[in-house]
Amino acid sequence: MAIFIIVLFVACGLLFVWEAIIAPSIRLQLRFQMFAERDRLRALHAAANAGMDTEVFDYAHQYVNAGINCIHIGNIFLLVKAQMEFRRNKELQDQMAEIIRLFDKSNNAELRSIRNRILRIGIWAVLVNSTVVLIFAVFAIQLFTVIPVAVRVQRVVANFFWVLVSQSGHGGGQGIPNPG
Contacts of range 115-124, beta carbons closer than 8 Å, 24 or more positions apart: 115/60, 115/63, 117/33, 117/37, 118/34, 118/37, 118/63, 118/64, 118/67, 121/30, 121/33, 121/34, 121/37, 121/67, 121/71, 122/67, 122/70, 122/71, 122/74, 124/26, 124/30
**Measured distance CA(31)–CA(70) in Å, rounded:** 9
**Beta carbons of 72 and 122 less than 8 angstroms apart:** no
List the one residue out of 7, 40, 28, 4 whose CA is nearest residue 113. Answer: 40
Please state, as a whole number, how many other Cβ atoms lie within 10 Å of the Cβ of residue 86.
12
pLDDT tens-place values along the chain, 180 residues long: 678 788 888 888 988 999 999 999 999 999 999 999 999 999 988 885 556 678 888 888 998 999 899 899 988 888 899 899 999 999 989 998 988 888 888 778 888 898 889 989 999 999 999 998 888 887 777 777 766 766 666 677 666 666 656 666 555 545 455 454
